Amino acid sequence: MEPIDSIKRQTTISMDIFLRNFSKVPDDKLTWVPAPTAKSALRIAAHTALYAGRFAKMIRDQALPAPSNISEWVAQRDAEEEAITDRGQIETIFREGTAEVLAALDALTEEDINVVIDSGQGWTMSMRYLITLPAWHTANHTGQIDFLQTCWDDQHVYVG
């Protein structure tokens, strides 16, 4: 399916760009934050990498997370992100999660793409929108990494 092929390309390209830009973060800046409540490049990367697999599960299951206790759910997500402590873990988790996204996309039928998913929280999301989120989410977090780099005066535009 052409739309799926395009979404798969966008998902892979977004991951590659993110990993390229993240690889330019100096080791001594991985945990640096511009403000006490801000997230570091490592934390942003952990979040982004972990969400690849989370999006794959949503697409595969045709279901959105519907935690009964949102505070516990957020605390669990935070703990998973904080448990990632080095650069090497990011790429492995991200590539595995992206491979899961691509497999989940390949498994979709035309009927699946037209599904509207009930969140169980009073709102819905179309599968057509959900399948775009892995690339969109990654691109947005690439911007966060780019911003952090400007904070330590890295003004280089990484294109290759």
CATH of the domain at 96: 1.20.120.450
- The answer to the question of residue 156 being in a domain is no
Amino acid present at 157: V
Residue 127: partners with Cβ closer than 8 Å, 6 or more residues away: 59, 62, 108, 112, 113, 114, 115, 116, 117
- The answer to the question of residue 157 being in a domain is no
pLDDT over 90 at 83, yes or no: yes
- The answer to the question of residue 32 being in a domain is yes
For the chain, percent of residues with pLDDT exceeding 70: 99
Stretch among 52-61, 65-74, 112-121 having the lowest mean pLDDT: 65-74
- The answer to the question of residue 99 being in a domain is yes
- The pTM (predicted TM-score) of the whole model is 0.94
- The answer to the question of residue 160 being in a domain is no
Number of domains in the chain: 1
- The answer to the question of residue 96 being in a domain is yes
SS3 116: strand
Residue ranges making up the domain that contains 30:
2-151
- The answer to the question of residue 83 being in a domain is yes
Q: How confident is the model at residue 111 (pLDDT cuts 50, 70, 90)?
A: very high
